[in-house]
């Protein structure tokens, strides 16, 4: 058949569509094979013919692809575009996808800026610490900045003892106990009361979980507790509560014996 026969009015060839939309003919052929975008008709000469409606659908495919959707995802998202409501629904979905993408990029930007600040404050290049900071940023750990103050021995202990889930669980416990210390102090509850002693027991269990029973880590943890950015009011209450708790037990933490 003669492939040069006139194209019916309202139709475009694959080459015309490719040029109009800034894609290659091979891309359109691939979309056809994948069932994403088939031509609306074939000319008498067997040429693929497309309509304005196909252009709208192609624009949808390209937009979703630009947003990072795989071709299989896009295939599942394509719907008919026969009414204004259907087109509006597609646009609303694409807008939601764009917003989600923006939120993800904004979060990545915040993490990059936070990491940059930590890198500038560290005195040496330490990619293992950088990795730990990134992980804690992803975990939404507000105390990610403490990592630069940990020595290598403490960080190796943390890496070997905790994965992301168990580390997050421990951090959640830590934050809950910090808030509880503030509540008890603001409520005027004595660190030597029954409630104060129960708090101290819970706090010590958290420390034991973190250290794995390695008491040599205690001085380092106490130093971290004095850093700017840690709530000193809650720390004062915690130290008092722990002091009363171990005094009643007759234990000296740093000598490891009994009085």
- Mean pLDDT, contiguous 10-residue spans, the chain (259 residues): 64 92 93 91 84 90 79 74 75 81 87 88 83 81 77 83 84 87 92 92 89 78 64 80 84 50
- Torsion sign across C-alpha atoms 35, 36, 41, 47: negative
Q: What is the pLDDT of residue 80?
A: 62
Q: How many other C-beta atoms lie within 10 A of the C-beta of residue 199?
A: 23
Q: What is the pLDDT of residue 259?
A: 39
Q: What is the pLDDT of residue 231?
A: 66
Cβ neighbors of 19 (< 8 A, separation 6 or more) are none
Q: What is the pLDDT of residue 256?
A: 46
Domain range 1-55, its CATH number among 3.40.50.150, 1.10.1660.10, 2.60.120.330, 3.40.50.300: 1.10.1660.10
The structure tokens 């894609």 sit at: 23
Which helix (H) or strand (E) segment holds residue 222: the answer is helix 218-225
Query: Residue-wise over 230-244: b if at least 16 C-beta within 10 A, else e?
Result: eeeebeebbebbbeb
| Dist CA 145 CA 136 (whole Å) | 9
Please give the C-alpha separations between residue 147 and each of 47, 58, 78, 151, 240, in angstroms, as whole numbers: 63, 48, 46, 8, 26
Q: What is the pLDDT of residue 64?
A: 78
| Dist CA 208 CA 187 (whole Å) | 27
Task: Find out whether 47 and 13 touch, Cβ atoms under 8 Å.
Answer: yes
Helix, strand, coil shares of the chain, percent, nearest 5, are 70, 5, 30
Q: Are strands 48-50 and 251-252 parallel, antiparallel or unpaired?
A: unpaired
Task: Find out whether 197 and 238 touch, Cβ atoms under 8 Å.
Answer: no
| Dist CA 95 CA 101 (whole Å) | 10
Q: Where in the chain is the domain with CATH 1.10.1660.10?
A: 1-55
Query: Model pTM?
Result: 0.50
Q: What is the pLDDT of residue 1?
A: 41
| Dist CA 203 CA 221 (whole Å) | 13
């Amino acid at each position: 058949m003669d492939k040069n026969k006139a194209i019916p009015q309202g139709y475009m060839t694959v080459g015309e569509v490719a040029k109009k939309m800034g894609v290659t003919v091979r891309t359109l052929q691939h979309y056809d094979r994948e069932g994403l975008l088939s031509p609306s008709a074939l000319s008498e000469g067997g040429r693929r013919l497309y309509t304005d409606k196909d252009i709208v659908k192609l624009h949808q495919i390209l937009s979703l692809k630009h947003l990072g959707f795989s071709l299989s995802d896009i295939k599942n998202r394509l719907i008919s575009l026969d009414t204004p409501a259907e087109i509006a629904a597609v646009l609303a979905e694409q807008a939601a996808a764009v917003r989600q993408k923006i939120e993800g990029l904004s979060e990545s930007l915040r993490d990059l800026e936070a990491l940059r600040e930590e890198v500038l404050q560290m005195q040496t290049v330490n990619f293992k610490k950088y990795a730990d900071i990134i992980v804690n940023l992803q975990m939404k750990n507000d105390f990610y900045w403490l990592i630069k103050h940990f020595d290598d021995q403490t960080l190796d202990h943390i890496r070997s003892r905790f994965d992301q889930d168990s580390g997050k669980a421990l951090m959640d416990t830590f934050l809950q106990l910090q808030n509880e210390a503030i509540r008890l102090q603001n409520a005027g509850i004595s660190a030597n009361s029954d409630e104060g002693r129960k708090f101290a027991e819970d706090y010590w269990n958290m420390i034991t979980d973190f250290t794995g029973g390695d008491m040599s880590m205690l001085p380092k943890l106490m130093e971290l507790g004095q850093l700017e950015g840690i709530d000193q009011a809650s720390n004062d209450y915690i130290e008092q509560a722990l002091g009363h708790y171990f005094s009643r037990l007759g234990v000296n933490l740093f000598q490891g014996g009994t009085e």
